[in-house]
Amino acid sequence: MTLFPDAVPRTGETLVLSNGYRATINWLTADAKPLLEAAMLRLSPESSRRRFFTPRFRLSERELAFLTSPDGIRHYALGVSGRADDGSVEGIATARFVRLQDEHSTAEIALTVIDPFQRMGVGKALLLRLVRAAAVRGIERLRALILPDNAPVIALLSKYAPTVRFTYDGDLLRADIPLARYALSAAA
C-alpha cells in the first residue's frame, strides 16, 4: 500500500536540453539497473571523484539494488534517459534524496549527470524537482556533503537554491538548504 498519496511521481516527463536532445525524467525502478550500470561507465574519473569521493567507483549489487528501489517517502529518486544516436536507450542522470536516520526532517541529496550531458540544464531541472518533492513530503532541510573543490555543484546550489548555507564538516563542505525559505520563484 502506498502510504503517501504522491509517493510515486508522474513519470515520463520530457526535458528538452539546451542542444535539443529530448530526455525523459522517470521514477527510478529496478528496471533501470542496466541503464545505471552503463551510465556509470561513462562517468569520468573526475565526476566520479566529485560524486563518490573516489575516481573509479563501481556499484556493488547491493548498492545498485538500493539506488533503484526508492520508496518515495524516505528515499526519492529520479532517473533521466534518452535515445543515443543508434536509437538505444541511454541513462544520463540520476537525482535522489534520502532522509537521515536520526533526523527525518532532513534529507541528503545526490545528483549525477554523466559528463557528455553536463552543462545542459539537467542538474538544475533535477534539483528543482528534488526541492519540490521534498517540500511536499514535509522535509524541512536538504543537505549535500560535497568536496570543497567541487565548483560545479557549489555554483549550481548557490544559483538555484539561494537559501543554501555552506559550512565545513571535517574535510567536506556541508550545504544546507532550508526549504521553508526556499524561493521557488528564484529558480523557475
Ligand X SMILES: CC(C)(COP(=O)(O)OP(=O)(O)OC[C@H]1O[C@@H](n2cnc3c(N)ncnc32)[C@H](O)[C@@H]1OP(=O)(O)O)[C@@H](O)C(=O)NCCC(=O)NCCS
182: closest CA among 116, 132, 124? 132
| Closest CB 55 distance from ligand X, rounded Å | 12
Task: Please identify, among the stretches 68-76, 82-90, 130-138, 143-151, the one whose residues bind ligand X according to the rule CB under 6 A.
Answer: 143-151
**Amino acid of residue 176:** D
Among 15, 40, 131, 156, indicate the residue that binds ligand X (CB under 6 A): 156
Q: Are strands 103-113 and 141-146 parallel, antiparallel or unpaired?
A: parallel
What's the DSSP call for residue 147? -
Rounded distance between C-alpha atoms, residue 172 and residue 177, angstroms: 16
* Binder among 155, 183, 184, 186 for ligand X (CB under 6 A): 155
Residue 2 C-beta: closest distance to ligand X, Å? 28
State the DSSP string of 168-185. Answer: EETTEEEEEEESTT--HH
Stretch that binds ligand X, among 7-15, 22-30, 54-62, 146-154 (CB under 6 A): 146-154
Query: Sign (positive/negative) of CA torsion 176, 54, 155, 130?
Result: negative
Provide the minimum distance between the beta carbon of 142 and ligand X in the complex, in angstroms, as a whole number: 11
* CA 97 from centroid of its chain's CA atoms: 7
Q: d(Cα 175, Cα 159) in Å, to the nearest integer? A: 13
- To ligand X, the closest distance from the beta carbon of 65 in angstroms equals 21
Name which of 2 and 165 has its Cβ closer to ligand X: 165
* First-last CA distance in the chain: 33
> Segment 26-55, which members bind ligand X (CB under 6 A)?
47, 50-51
- Pattern 114-133, ligand X, x by CB under 6 A: ----xxxxxxx---------
* Residue 7 or 166 having the CB closest to ligand X: 166
Residues at the interface with ligand X (CB under 6 A): 47, 50-51, 110-113, 118-124, 144, 146, 150-153, 155-156, 159
